[in-house]
Structure 1
Amino acid sequence: MFLAEKAITTNSAGVFRLYLIGDLHADRKAFQDERFKRWRAAIIKDEHAVAVFMGDAFEGRTPGQKHFNLGTLRKEYVLNMERYVDFCIQKGVSLLKPITDAGRPLFLIRGNHDSYQEWSGFSGALARQAGATYLDGAGLIRIRSGRGQGACYTTTIYATHGWGGGRTPGPKLNSLMSLRGVCDADIYCAAHVHDQMARVVPIPTVPAKGALRLETRDVAYLRAAAFLRQGVANEGGYDQDHAYPASDNGLVVLEVNPQHRRMRRVEAPF
Protein backbone atom coordinates (compact mmCIF):
# COMPACT_ATOMS: atom_id res chain seq x y z
CA MET A 1 0.00 0.00 0.00
CA PHE A 2 1.51 3.30 -1.10
CA LEU A 3 1.31 6.35 1.19
CA ALA A 4 0.92 10.01 0.24
CA GLU A 5 0.18 13.29 1.96
CA LYS A 6 -0.97 16.70 0.76
CA ALA A 7 -1.60 19.90 2.68
CA ILE A 8 -4.09 22.35 1.19
CA THR A 9 -5.20 25.78 2.38
CA THR A 10 -8.97 26.02 2.75
CA ASN A 11 -11.41 27.84 5.04
CA SER A 12 -11.13 27.43 8.82
CA ALA A 13 -13.36 24.34 8.75
CA GLY A 14 -10.97 22.56 6.38
CA VAL A 15 -13.63 22.05 3.69
CA PHE A 16 -12.38 20.53 0.42
CA ARG A 17 -13.97 18.60 -2.45
CA LEU A 18 -12.91 15.20 -3.74
CA TYR A 19 -13.17 14.47 -7.47
CA LEU A 20 -12.68 10.93 -8.74
CA ILE A 21 -11.64 10.46 -12.36
CA GLY A 22 -12.92 7.04 -13.37
CA ASP A 23 -11.86 4.72 -16.19
CA LEU A 24 -11.05 6.73 -19.31
CA HIS A 25 -10.17 4.09 -21.92
CA ALA A 26 -9.26 7.15 -23.94
CA ASP A 27 -8.15 5.23 -27.04
CA ARG A 28 -11.66 3.86 -27.59
CA LYS A 29 -14.12 5.44 -29.98
CA ALA A 30 -16.63 5.41 -27.10
CA PHE A 31 -14.46 7.70 -24.91
CA GLN A 32 -16.48 10.74 -23.79
CA ASP A 33 -13.72 13.26 -24.36
CA GLU A 34 -15.92 16.37 -24.13
CA ARG A 35 -17.55 15.18 -20.91
CA PHE A 36 -14.15 14.44 -19.43
CA LYS A 37 -12.96 17.95 -20.36
CA ARG A 38 -15.96 19.47 -18.55
CA TRP A 39 -15.15 17.38 -15.46
CA ARG A 40 -11.51 18.44 -15.70
CA ALA A 41 -12.56 22.09 -16.03
CA ALA A 42 -14.63 21.77 -12.85
CA ILE A 43 -11.58 20.41 -11.00
CA ILE A 44 -9.36 23.21 -12.29
CA LYS A 45 -11.92 25.87 -11.35
CA ASP A 46 -12.29 24.58 -7.78
CA GLU A 47 -9.51 26.04 -5.61
CA HIS A 48 -10.20 23.42 -2.92
CA ALA A 49 -10.26 20.40 -5.23
CA VAL A 50 -8.43 17.12 -4.64
CA ALA A 51 -8.46 14.70 -7.59
CA VAL A 52 -7.72 10.98 -7.82
CA PHE A 53 -7.35 9.27 -11.19
CA MET A 54 -8.60 5.74 -10.55
CA GLY A 55 -6.80 3.93 -13.38
CA ASP A 56 -7.42 2.47 -16.85
CA ALA A 57 -6.23 5.43 -18.86
CA PHE A 58 -6.35 3.35 -22.07
CA GLU A 59 -7.42 -0.10 -23.22
CA GLY A 60 -3.80 -1.19 -22.98
CA ARG A 61 -4.18 -4.14 -25.32
CA THR A 62 -1.98 -4.58 -28.36
CA PRO A 63 -2.19 -7.06 -31.27
CA GLY A 64 -1.92 -10.65 -30.07
CA GLN A 65 -3.31 -9.96 -26.60
CA LYS A 66 -6.59 -11.43 -25.43
CA HIS A 67 -9.67 -9.33 -26.28
CA PHE A 68 -7.70 -6.96 -28.52
CA ASN A 69 -10.26 -5.34 -30.86
CA LEU A 70 -9.00 -2.99 -33.54
CA GLY A 71 -12.51 -1.88 -34.44
CA THR A 72 -13.09 -0.21 -31.08
CA LEU A 73 -10.01 2.03 -31.26
CA ARG A 74 -9.72 5.58 -32.52
CA LYS A 75 -7.88 6.00 -35.80
CA GLU A 76 -4.94 7.96 -34.35
CA TYR A 77 -4.14 5.09 -31.97
CA VAL A 78 -4.39 2.49 -34.73
CA LEU A 79 -1.94 4.50 -36.84
CA ASN A 80 0.48 4.68 -33.90
CA MET A 81 0.22 1.04 -32.81
CA GLU A 82 3.96 0.45 -33.35
CA ARG A 83 4.69 3.04 -30.63
CA TYR A 84 1.51 2.47 -28.64
CA VAL A 85 2.93 2.84 -25.11
CA ASP A 86 4.82 6.05 -25.88
CA PHE A 87 1.86 7.49 -27.79
CA CYS A 88 -0.55 6.70 -24.94
CA ILE A 89 1.74 8.34 -22.39
CA GLN A 90 1.82 11.51 -24.49
CA LYS A 91 -1.97 11.49 -24.85
CA GLY A 92 -2.49 10.70 -21.16
CA VAL A 93 -0.27 13.58 -20.13
CA SER A 94 -2.26 15.95 -22.35
CA LEU A 95 -5.44 14.82 -20.58
CA LEU A 96 -4.23 14.96 -16.97
CA LYS A 97 -1.44 17.55 -16.76
CA PRO A 98 -3.76 20.60 -17.03
CA ILE A 99 -5.03 19.62 -13.56
CA THR A 100 -1.61 19.78 -11.92
CA ASP A 101 -0.61 22.81 -14.01
CA ALA A 102 -3.54 24.59 -12.32
CA GLY A 103 -2.12 23.70 -8.90
CA ARG A 104 -4.68 21.05 -8.04
CA PRO A 105 -3.34 17.94 -6.27
CA LEU A 106 -3.71 14.80 -8.39
CA PHE A 107 -3.10 11.22 -7.26
CA LEU A 108 -2.83 8.36 -9.76
CA ILE A 109 -3.82 4.70 -9.30
CA ARG A 110 -2.77 1.92 -11.69
CA GLY A 111 -5.70 0.03 -13.23
CA ASN A 112 -5.83 -3.49 -14.61
CA HIS A 113 -5.81 -2.22 -18.22
CA ASP A 114 -2.73 -0.12 -17.46
CA SER A 115 -1.04 -3.33 -16.32
CA TYR A 116 -1.60 -4.96 -19.71
CA GLN A 117 1.32 -2.89 -20.96
CA GLU A 118 3.74 -5.23 -19.23
CA TRP A 119 7.23 -4.14 -18.16
CA SER A 120 6.75 -0.70 -19.66
CA GLY A 121 6.33 1.23 -16.39
CA PHE A 122 3.38 2.93 -18.06
CA SER A 123 1.47 4.19 -15.01
CA GLY A 124 4.54 5.46 -13.19
CA ALA A 125 5.71 7.32 -16.29
CA LEU A 126 2.24 8.80 -16.82
CA ALA A 127 2.11 10.01 -13.20
CA ARG A 128 5.60 11.48 -13.32
CA GLN A 129 5.09 13.34 -16.59
CA ALA A 130 1.61 14.57 -15.58
CA GLY A 131 2.88 15.86 -12.22
CA ALA A 132 0.68 13.45 -10.26
CA THR A 133 1.52 11.47 -7.13
CA TYR A 134 1.82 7.79 -8.04
CA LEU A 135 0.10 5.26 -5.75
CA ASP A 136 0.57 2.07 -7.81
CA GLY A 137 -2.41 -0.30 -7.39
CA ALA A 138 -3.66 1.06 -4.05
CA GLY A 139 -2.83 3.96 -1.78
CA LEU A 140 -3.68 5.61 1.51
CA ILE A 141 -3.77 9.40 1.24
CA ARG A 142 -3.64 11.86 4.14
CA ILE A 143 -5.16 15.26 3.34
CA ARG A 144 -4.38 18.07 5.78
CA SER A 145 -6.74 20.99 5.27
CA GLY A 146 -7.54 24.23 7.04
CA ARG A 147 -6.33 27.78 7.45
CA GLY A 148 -3.50 28.82 9.74
CA GLN A 149 -1.60 26.90 12.37
CA GLY A 150 -4.56 26.27 14.67
CA ALA A 151 -7.03 24.90 12.12
CA CYS A 152 -5.44 21.89 10.48
CA TYR A 153 -7.70 18.88 10.02
CA THR A 154 -6.82 15.43 8.72
CA THR A 155 -8.89 13.31 6.31
CA THR A 156 -7.74 9.89 5.12
CA ILE A 157 -8.63 8.46 1.71
CA TYR A 158 -8.08 4.85 0.63
CA ALA A 159 -8.08 4.42 -3.15
CA THR A 160 -7.79 1.28 -5.29
CA HIS A 161 -8.80 0.62 -8.87
CA GLY A 162 -10.89 -2.39 -7.85
CA TRP A 163 -11.25 -5.94 -9.11
CA GLY A 164 -13.80 -8.53 -10.14
CA GLY A 165 -16.97 -7.84 -12.04
CA GLY A 166 -20.60 -8.35 -11.23
CA ARG A 167 -23.55 -7.71 -13.47
CA THR A 168 -25.89 -6.45 -10.75
CA PRO A 169 -25.48 -3.56 -8.28
CA GLY A 170 -25.32 -5.82 -5.21
CA PRO A 171 -21.88 -7.40 -5.75
CA LYS A 172 -20.45 -4.09 -6.93
CA LEU A 173 -21.66 -2.35 -3.77
CA ASN A 174 -20.61 -5.20 -1.49
CA SER A 175 -17.04 -5.18 -2.78
CA LEU A 176 -16.92 -1.40 -2.34
CA MET A 177 -18.18 -1.55 1.24
CA SER A 178 -15.76 -4.38 2.04
CA LEU A 179 -12.82 -2.02 1.57
CA ARG A 180 -13.25 -1.00 5.19
CA GLY A 181 -11.69 -4.34 6.05
CA VAL A 182 -8.47 -3.32 4.29
CA CYS A 183 -7.60 -0.29 6.41
CA ASP A 184 -9.11 2.47 8.53
CA ALA A 185 -9.99 5.56 6.48
CA ASP A 186 -12.60 8.28 6.22
CA ILE A 187 -13.23 7.75 2.50
CA TYR A 188 -12.98 4.55 0.43
CA CYS A 189 -12.69 4.81 -3.36
CA ALA A 190 -12.76 2.32 -6.24
CA ALA A 191 -13.63 2.21 -9.95
CA HIS A 192 -13.23 -0.70 -12.42
CA VAL A 193 -16.87 -1.76 -12.95
CA HIS A 194 -17.87 1.46 -14.79
CA ASP A 195 -20.79 2.00 -12.41
CA GLN A 196 -21.13 5.05 -10.16
CA MET A 197 -22.00 4.53 -6.49
CA ALA A 198 -21.82 7.05 -3.65
CA ARG A 199 -22.72 6.30 -0.04
CA VAL A 200 -22.16 8.45 3.04
CA VAL A 201 -22.74 6.49 6.23
CA PRO A 202 -22.91 8.20 9.67
CA ILE A 203 -21.07 5.88 12.07
CA PRO A 204 -22.02 6.21 15.77
CA THR A 205 -19.10 6.84 18.12
CA VAL A 206 -18.18 8.50 21.42
CA PRO A 207 -15.54 11.22 21.89
CA ALA A 208 -12.10 10.19 23.09
CA LYS A 209 -12.29 12.62 26.00
CA GLY A 210 -14.69 14.99 27.73
CA ALA A 211 -18.34 14.33 28.44
CA LEU A 212 -19.69 10.93 27.41
CA ARG A 213 -22.09 11.49 24.53
CA LEU A 214 -23.12 9.83 21.31
CA GLU A 215 -21.72 11.39 18.15
CA THR A 216 -21.59 10.36 14.50
CA ARG A 217 -18.71 10.42 12.05
CA ASP A 218 -19.39 10.26 8.32
CA VAL A 219 -17.61 7.55 6.34
CA ALA A 220 -17.88 7.70 2.54
CA TYR A 221 -17.76 4.95 -0.08
CA LEU A 222 -17.33 6.07 -3.68
CA ARG A 223 -17.17 4.14 -6.92
CA ALA A 224 -16.29 6.18 -9.98
CA ALA A 225 -18.14 5.87 -13.28
CA ALA A 226 -16.29 5.43 -16.58
CA PHE A 227 -16.06 8.05 -19.30
CA LEU A 228 -17.49 5.76 -21.97
CA ARG A 229 -20.66 6.06 -24.03
CA GLN A 230 -22.95 3.09 -23.51
CA GLY A 231 -24.51 1.15 -26.35
CA VAL A 232 -22.57 2.62 -29.28
CA ALA A 233 -24.29 1.86 -32.60
CA ASN A 234 -22.55 -0.60 -34.92
CA GLU A 235 -19.54 -1.03 -32.65
CA GLY A 236 -18.50 -4.12 -30.72
CA GLY A 237 -16.05 -4.63 -27.89
CA TYR A 238 -15.55 -6.81 -24.86
CA ASP A 239 -18.37 -5.14 -22.91
CA GLN A 240 -20.93 -5.60 -25.69
CA ASP A 241 -19.73 -9.10 -26.62
CA HIS A 242 -20.43 -10.14 -23.01
CA ALA A 243 -23.74 -8.24 -22.79
CA TYR A 244 -22.80 -6.05 -19.83
CA PRO A 245 -25.83 -4.05 -18.68
CA ALA A 246 -26.08 -0.27 -18.73
CA SER A 247 -24.81 1.40 -15.57
CA ASP A 248 -25.02 4.66 -13.62
CA ASN A 249 -22.51 7.08 -15.16
CA GLY A 250 -23.15 10.03 -12.82
CA LEU A 251 -20.24 12.24 -11.78
CA VAL A 252 -20.31 12.91 -8.05
CA VAL A 253 -18.24 15.41 -6.07
CA LEU A 254 -17.75 14.63 -2.39
CA GLU A 255 -17.66 17.77 -0.24
CA VAL A 256 -15.74 17.05 2.95
CA ASN A 257 -16.09 19.12 6.15
CA PRO A 258 -13.53 17.62 8.55
CA GLN A 259 -14.25 20.09 11.35
CA HIS A 260 -17.75 18.69 11.78
CA ARG A 261 -16.89 15.23 10.38
CA ARG A 262 -19.56 15.60 7.73
CA MET A 263 -19.61 14.84 3.99
CA ARG A 264 -22.05 15.78 1.24
CA ARG A 265 -22.59 14.41 -2.28
CA VAL A 266 -23.04 16.84 -5.17
CA GLU A 267 -23.73 15.50 -8.68
CA ALA A 268 -22.39 17.34 -11.72
CA PRO A 269 -25.11 18.59 -14.08
CA PHE A 270 -23.51 16.94 -17.13
Structure 2
Amino acid sequence: MSAPILPDLADLRAAVRQWKADGQVIGVVPTMGALHDGHLSLVRRARESCDRVIVTIFVNPRQFNSAEDFARYPRTEDSDAALLAPLGVDAVFVPDAAQVYPPSHATVVSVSGISEPLEGAHRPGHFDGVATVVTLLFNMTQADRAYFGEKDWQQLQVVTRLVQDLKLPVEIIPCPSIRADDGLALSSRNQRLTPQGRAQAAALPAALFEAARQIESGTPEQQALASALATIADAGFGEVEYLELRDAATLGPVLPDRPARLLVAAWLDGVRLIDNVGVTLP
Protein backbone atom coordinates (compact mmCIF):
# COMPACT_ATOMS: atom_id res chain seq x y z
CA MET A 1 0.00 0.00 0.00
CA SER A 2 1.48 3.35 -1.03
CA ALA A 3 1.76 6.33 1.28
CA PRO A 4 -0.90 9.01 0.77
CA ILE A 5 0.31 11.91 -1.35
CA LEU A 6 -0.91 15.15 0.20
CA PRO A 7 -0.62 18.17 -2.08
CA ASP A 8 -2.63 20.42 0.23
CA LEU A 9 -1.36 21.90 3.49
CA ALA A 10 -4.79 21.73 5.13
CA ASP A 11 -4.87 17.95 4.70
CA LEU A 12 -1.36 17.60 6.11
CA ARG A 13 -2.19 19.73 9.13
CA ALA A 14 -5.34 17.73 9.83
CA ALA A 15 -3.31 14.51 9.89
CA VAL A 16 -0.58 16.07 12.04
CA ARG A 17 -3.12 17.40 14.57
CA GLN A 18 -4.47 13.90 15.08
CA TRP A 19 -0.99 12.38 15.45
CA LYS A 20 -0.02 15.07 17.95
CA ALA A 21 -3.24 14.51 19.91
CA ASP A 22 -2.33 10.83 20.14
CA GLY A 23 1.10 11.73 21.53
CA GLN A 24 2.99 10.35 18.54
CA VAL A 25 6.53 11.38 17.55
CA ILE A 26 6.69 12.77 14.00
CA GLY A 27 9.77 12.61 11.78
CA VAL A 28 10.26 14.50 8.54
CA VAL A 29 12.65 13.88 5.64
CA PRO A 30 12.77 17.05 3.50
CA THR A 31 13.69 16.33 -0.15
CA MET A 32 13.50 17.83 -3.60
CA GLY A 33 12.46 14.49 -5.08
CA ALA A 34 14.43 12.43 -7.61
CA LEU A 35 14.85 10.02 -4.73
CA HIS A 36 17.75 7.57 -4.45
CA ASP A 37 19.12 5.21 -1.83
CA GLY A 38 20.58 8.12 0.10
CA HIS A 39 17.11 9.59 0.65
CA LEU A 40 15.68 6.17 1.40
CA SER A 41 18.30 5.62 4.10
CA LEU A 42 17.01 8.77 5.81
CA VAL A 43 13.45 7.49 5.59
CA ARG A 44 14.47 4.14 7.10
CA ARG A 45 16.27 5.93 9.93
CA ALA A 46 13.17 8.02 10.61
CA ARG A 47 10.96 4.94 10.48
CA GLU A 48 13.10 3.24 13.13
CA SER A 49 12.70 6.02 15.68
CA CYS A 50 9.41 7.81 14.95
CA ASP A 51 5.75 6.87 15.18
CA ARG A 52 4.91 8.79 12.00
CA VAL A 53 7.10 9.72 9.03
CA ILE A 54 6.49 12.52 6.54
CA VAL A 55 8.54 12.88 3.35
CA THR A 56 8.32 16.30 1.71
CA ILE A 57 8.99 16.72 -2.00
CA PHE A 58 9.43 20.30 -3.16
CA VAL A 59 11.90 21.57 -5.76
CA ASN A 60 12.70 24.86 -4.07
CA PRO A 61 13.26 27.60 -6.67
CA ARG A 62 14.88 29.90 -4.12
CA GLN A 63 17.96 27.75 -3.60
CA PHE A 64 18.95 27.64 -7.28
CA ASN A 65 21.33 30.20 -8.70
CA SER A 66 20.42 29.38 -12.28
CA ALA A 67 16.99 29.22 -13.90
CA GLU A 68 18.40 26.60 -16.26
CA ASP A 69 19.61 24.45 -13.37
CA PHE A 70 16.18 24.72 -11.72
CA ALA A 71 14.45 23.72 -14.96
CA ARG A 72 16.79 20.73 -15.48
CA TYR A 73 16.46 19.38 -11.95
CA PRO A 74 14.85 15.90 -12.19
CA ARG A 75 11.16 15.72 -11.28
CA THR A 76 10.08 12.11 -10.77
CA GLU A 77 7.09 12.19 -8.43
CA ASP A 78 5.53 8.92 -9.63
CA SER A 79 8.72 6.89 -9.31
CA ASP A 80 9.47 8.61 -5.99
CA ALA A 81 6.11 7.48 -4.62
CA ALA A 82 6.82 3.92 -5.78
CA LEU A 83 10.17 3.92 -3.97
CA LEU A 84 8.54 5.14 -0.77
CA ALA A 85 5.65 2.67 -0.90
CA PRO A 86 7.37 -0.23 0.92
CA LEU A 87 9.01 1.96 3.59
CA GLY A 88 6.00 2.69 5.78
CA VAL A 89 5.84 6.42 5.10
CA ASP A 90 2.67 7.95 6.54
CA ALA A 91 2.44 10.97 4.23
CA VAL A 92 4.20 12.39 1.19
CA PHE A 93 3.72 16.15 1.23
CA VAL A 94 4.04 17.59 -2.28
CA PRO A 95 3.03 21.25 -2.16
CA ASP A 96 3.03 23.49 -5.19
CA ALA A 97 5.02 26.72 -5.24
CA ALA A 98 1.94 28.85 -4.52
CA GLN A 99 1.43 27.13 -1.17
CA VAL A 100 5.03 27.57 -0.12
CA TYR A 101 5.59 31.04 -1.59
CA PRO A 102 2.26 32.81 -2.18
CA PRO A 103 2.42 36.19 -3.91
CA SER A 104 2.30 37.90 -0.52
CA HIS A 105 5.37 36.05 0.78
CA ALA A 106 7.94 38.60 1.97
CA THR A 107 10.10 36.84 4.57
CA VAL A 108 13.61 35.50 4.03
CA VAL A 109 15.51 33.52 6.67
CA SER A 110 19.26 34.11 6.61
CA VAL A 111 21.94 32.36 8.67
CA SER A 112 25.08 34.46 8.69
CA GLY A 113 28.65 33.29 9.16
CA ILE A 114 28.47 29.55 8.62
CA SER A 115 26.59 29.99 5.32
CA GLU A 116 29.14 32.37 3.78
CA PRO A 117 32.23 30.33 2.76
CA LEU A 118 32.45 27.42 0.30
CA GLU A 119 28.95 26.86 -1.15
CA GLY A 120 27.86 30.29 0.03
CA ALA A 121 30.70 32.02 -1.79
CA HIS A 122 29.98 30.20 -5.07
CA ARG A 123 26.18 30.19 -4.85
CA PRO A 124 25.08 33.60 -3.51
CA GLY A 125 21.67 33.43 -1.85
CA HIS A 126 21.57 29.63 -1.93
CA PHE A 127 21.50 29.16 1.82
CA ASP A 128 18.92 31.91 2.28
CA GLY A 129 16.69 29.78 0.07
CA VAL A 130 17.54 26.65 2.04
CA ALA A 131 17.00 28.28 5.44
CA THR A 132 13.70 29.83 4.36
CA VAL A 133 12.18 26.67 2.91
CA VAL A 134 13.40 24.48 5.78
CA THR A 135 11.80 26.86 8.30
CA LEU A 136 8.57 26.74 6.33
CA LEU A 137 8.61 22.94 6.09
CA PHE A 138 9.29 22.59 9.81
CA ASN A 139 6.32 24.84 10.53
CA MET A 140 4.10 23.04 8.02
CA THR A 141 4.88 19.53 9.24
CA GLN A 142 5.31 20.32 12.96
CA ALA A 143 7.86 17.49 13.04
CA ASP A 144 9.69 16.53 16.21
CA ARG A 145 12.74 15.23 14.33
CA ALA A 146 14.19 16.04 10.91
CA TYR A 147 16.65 13.85 9.04
CA PHE A 148 19.45 15.27 6.86
CA GLY A 149 22.32 13.55 5.08
CA GLU A 150 25.95 14.43 5.78
CA LYS A 151 26.64 14.52 2.04
CA ASP A 152 25.44 18.15 2.06
CA TRP A 153 27.65 18.93 5.06
CA GLN A 154 27.45 22.71 4.97
CA GLN A 155 23.68 22.59 4.56
CA LEU A 156 23.49 20.32 7.61
CA GLN A 157 25.49 22.81 9.68
CA VAL A 158 23.39 25.75 8.47
CA VAL A 159 20.15 23.96 9.38
CA THR A 160 21.56 22.95 12.76
CA ARG A 161 22.51 26.56 13.53
CA LEU A 162 19.11 27.78 12.29
CA VAL A 163 17.28 25.47 14.71
CA GLN A 164 19.56 26.42 17.60
CA ASP A 165 19.30 30.16 17.01
CA LEU A 166 15.53 30.28 16.45
CA LYS A 167 14.83 27.78 19.26
CA LEU A 168 12.75 25.66 16.90
CA PRO A 169 11.21 22.58 18.58
CA VAL A 170 12.72 20.06 16.16
CA GLU A 171 15.73 17.79 16.63
CA ILE A 172 18.12 17.58 13.67
CA ILE A 173 19.31 14.01 13.07
CA PRO A 174 22.46 13.79 10.86
CA CYS A 175 22.80 10.62 8.80
CA PRO A 176 25.92 9.26 7.03
CA SER A 177 26.41 9.75 3.30
CA ILE A 178 25.43 6.78 1.16
CA ARG A 179 27.92 5.90 -1.56
CA ALA A 180 27.88 3.78 -4.69
CA ASP A 181 30.23 0.80 -4.87
CA ASP A 182 32.91 2.99 -6.48
CA GLY A 183 32.67 5.57 -3.69
CA LEU A 184 30.66 8.31 -5.43
CA ALA A 185 28.24 9.95 -3.01
CA LEU A 186 24.67 9.41 -4.16
CA SER A 187 23.02 12.55 -5.52
CA SER A 188 20.05 13.34 -7.73
CA ARG A 189 22.45 15.28 -9.96
CA ASN A 190 24.35 12.08 -10.76
CA GLN A 191 21.49 11.19 -13.10
CA ARG A 192 22.69 13.95 -15.43
CA LEU A 193 26.16 12.45 -15.93
CA THR A 194 26.90 10.66 -19.19
CA PRO A 195 28.10 7.05 -18.86
CA GLN A 196 31.66 8.24 -19.40
CA GLY A 197 31.25 11.03 -16.88
CA ARG A 198 29.77 8.66 -14.34
CA ALA A 199 32.84 6.41 -14.67
CA GLN A 200 35.18 9.40 -14.27
CA ALA A 201 33.25 10.73 -11.26
CA ALA A 202 34.62 8.08 -8.90
CA ALA A 203 37.97 9.89 -8.95
CA LEU A 204 36.49 12.68 -6.83
CA PRO A 205 35.81 10.66 -3.66
CA ALA A 206 39.00 8.66 -4.22
CA ALA A 207 41.06 11.86 -4.23
CA LEU A 208 39.16 13.18 -1.21
CA PHE A 209 39.67 10.06 0.91
CA GLU A 210 43.33 9.83 -0.09
CA ALA A 211 43.93 13.48 0.87
CA ALA A 212 42.23 12.87 4.22
CA ARG A 213 44.42 9.80 4.79
CA GLN A 214 47.57 11.76 3.97
CA ILE A 215 46.67 14.64 6.30
CA GLU A 216 45.88 12.22 9.10
CA SER A 217 49.26 10.54 8.61
CA GLY A 218 51.12 13.82 8.89
CA THR A 219 51.49 15.01 5.28
CA PRO A 220 51.35 18.83 5.16
CA GLU A 221 47.85 20.00 4.28
CA GLN A 222 48.80 21.96 1.17
CA GLN A 223 50.82 19.06 -0.21
CA ALA A 224 47.92 16.65 0.27
CA LEU A 225 45.46 19.06 -1.33
CA ALA A 226 47.74 19.73 -4.29
CA SER A 227 48.01 15.99 -4.92
CA ALA A 228 44.23 15.64 -4.75
CA LEU A 229 43.72 18.51 -7.20
CA ALA A 230 46.11 16.85 -9.66
CA THR A 231 44.23 13.56 -9.37
CA ILE A 232 40.90 15.28 -9.98
CA ALA A 233 42.26 17.14 -13.01
CA ASP A 234 43.83 13.99 -14.46
CA ALA A 235 40.44 12.26 -14.21
CA GLY A 236 38.92 14.79 -16.59
CA PHE A 237 37.18 17.17 -14.21
CA GLY A 238 36.87 20.82 -15.15
CA GLU A 239 36.78 23.65 -12.63
CA VAL A 240 37.33 22.78 -8.99
CA GLU A 241 35.50 25.54 -7.13
CA TYR A 242 36.98 24.62 -3.80
CA LEU A 243 38.91 21.88 -2.04
CA GLU A 244 39.42 22.99 1.55
CA LEU A 245 39.99 21.66 5.04
CA ARG A 246 37.68 23.38 7.52
CA ASP A 247 36.49 23.11 11.10
CA ALA A 248 33.66 20.58 10.93
CA ALA A 249 31.15 22.58 12.97
CA THR A 250 31.90 26.23 12.16
CA LEU A 251 33.42 25.80 8.68
CA GLY A 252 36.02 28.31 9.77
CA PRO A 253 39.78 27.60 9.99
CA VAL A 254 40.72 24.29 11.54
CA LEU A 255 41.56 24.35 15.22
CA PRO A 256 43.60 21.93 17.34
CA ASP A 257 41.68 19.13 19.03
CA ARG A 258 38.50 19.78 17.05
CA PRO A 259 36.94 17.67 14.28
CA ALA A 260 37.78 18.81 10.76
CA ARG A 261 36.11 18.26 7.41
CA LEU A 262 37.57 18.17 3.91
CA LEU A 263 35.07 19.56 1.40
CA VAL A 264 35.10 19.77 -2.40
CA ALA A 265 32.98 21.08 -5.27
CA ALA A 266 33.98 20.33 -8.85
CA TRP A 267 32.46 20.28 -12.33
CA LEU A 268 32.32 17.22 -14.57
CA ASP A 269 30.29 16.66 -17.69
CA GLY A 270 28.37 19.90 -17.09
CA VAL A 271 27.32 18.70 -13.62
CA ARG A 272 28.42 20.21 -10.33
CA LEU A 273 29.40 17.54 -7.80
CA ILE A 274 30.06 18.10 -4.09
CA ASP A 275 31.45 15.78 -1.44
CA ASN A 276 33.10 15.80 1.97
CA VAL A 277 34.87 13.52 4.41
CA GLY A 278 35.81 13.79 8.07
CA VAL A 279 39.47 14.28 9.01
CA THR A 280 41.12 13.62 12.36
CA LEU A 281 44.06 15.97 12.60
CA PRO A 282 47.36 14.49 13.83
TM-score, normalised on structure 2? 0.32
The structure with the largest helix share of the pair is 2
Higher relative contact order (CA 8 A, sep 6+): 1
TM-score, normalised on structure 1? 0.33
The structure with the largest strand share of the pair is 1
